[in-house]
Chains A and B, each alone.
Chain A
Amino acid sequence: MNGPFYENGWIGEEASLLIALIIGLAFGFFLERAGLGSARKLAAQFYGRDLTVFKMMFTAIITAMIGVYWLSWFGLLNLELVYLTPTYVMPQIIGGLVFGIGFIVGGYCPGTSCVASATGSIDGIVNVIGLLLGILLFGELYPYLETFYNSTPLGQTTMVEYFDLPAGLMVFILVMVALGGFWLSEKLEALNASNEGE
């Protein structure tokens, strides 16, 4: 049994939608369990008081990254068949900056705004309405934004290809960066907690 199962034609369309529901359910469950349905907890990341966002996000990234590396190394997952969003340098840098500003102003990202709405946060529902309206505005302005949207393309490319490093070394570097980040996060939280205690 080699992955991806769906791309290999072993799962039908109807079954894939049931899988989507189950995957989403687990995704929403873990986000809520960690407290990421709370705008105050999400915002606290950017005031150095509670770095749950960083810790959870990067633990998830390196867990999946290590899994992908080993499964592909043992020939159990064909990475050629796993979809990679193409890179467009400037739209993704500017998009990231704009997204970050919207995140701290609104208090949620799209996934966590859904979790907040599902757990009864009225401000979360308002955020989802804002997102839907924003997407409509983007769609209406798309003819004017299209040139920038498609600028500076690099195609589907990973850091392994871009830096021309062995995949194992790239994974190791990113895991070390994440572990360093976790250590710093714990230090920063402890420091801010002791400052507030004074």
Chain B
Amino acid sequence: MTKGSLKQPQPYWNPYLCGIGLGLVLLTTFVVMGRGIGASGAMTSVVSVGVNAVSETHASANAFYAGYLGDGTVSPLKDWLVFEVLGVLIGGFLSGIFAHRTKLKVEKGKSISRNGRFLFSFVGGIIMAFGTKLARGCTSGQALTGGALMNVGSWLFMISLFAGAYGMAWFVRRLWI
């Protein structure tokens, strides 16, 4: 094996094959756990624990945080979604290592500076947080999970998500193309 072939990132796998793989993971989750997968819920647990650490009275007075903190008998971080997202981090990292894609980098379009990209990535995260919390789930917990269960609200969320992103894409084209 030459040095060059070690560093060269491997091509991505076929999206349909990855989709079947992800679909089987989701199906397994339904059969084993009676629930679906998620991502933003784990982040909400982390935020709620942080707020609770700063002020317990403030957190318990707010129904949003209180819902994620539980009754206090078990740590809110000893939660199914928190462990699942830890798995996502490990799985993503390992897949990236095997394909020689795990390395420090900044993903951006060619017309934007690194700091510009960081600003938009940050602001996009804040906007997305409001969307996911209003909708009671993100692309994982609503679109994938609820999509497969033919959940009415999940399909409304998914159609609106694509509409919002396509509608906004032209205005932010300088970020990407």
A residues with CB within 8 A of B: 3-7, 11, 16-35, 37-41, 43-47, 52, 55-65, 67-68, 71, 76-77, 79, 81-89, 91-124, 126-139, 142-143, 145-146, 148-149, 154, 157-160, 162, 167, 170-171, 174, 182
Which of B64, B118, B137 is within 8 Å of A142, CB to CB?
B64
Contacts of A110 in B (CB 8 A): 39-40, 43, 128, 132, 138-140
Nearest chain A CB to B153's CB is how many angstroms away?
3
B residues with CB within 8 A of A: 12-13, 15-16, 18-37, 39-40, 43-44, 46-48, 50-51, 62-65, 78, 80-96, 99, 101-109, 117-118, 120-169, 172-173, 175-177
- Contact, CB under 8 Å: B87 / A27: yes
- Contact, CB under 8 Å: A133 / B141: no
- Contact, CB under 8 Å: A115 / B92: yes
Closest to A91 in B: B134
- Contact, CB under 8 Å: A102 / B104: no
- Contact, CB under 8 Å: B31 / A105: no
Q: How far is the CA of A134 from the CA of B83 in the complex (A)?
A: 22
Q: How far is the CA of A68 from the CA of B151 in the complex (A)?
A: 13
Contacts of B140 in A (CB 8 A): 27, 109-111
- Contact, CB under 8 Å: A100 / B28: no
- Contact, CB under 8 Å: A159 / B155: yes
- Contact, CB under 8 Å: B92 / A119: yes
Which of A60, A137, A142 is within 8 Å of B22, CB to CB?
A60
Nearest chain B CB to A180's CB is how many angstroms away?
15
- Whether A129 contacts B165 in the complex (CB less than 8 A), given A38-B107, A120-B104, comes out as no
- Whether A23 contacts B29 in the complex (CB less than 8 A), given A113-B125, A119-B102, A129-B122, comes out as yes
- Whether A105 contacts B168 in the complex (CB less than 8 A), given A57-B139, A87-B156, comes out as yes
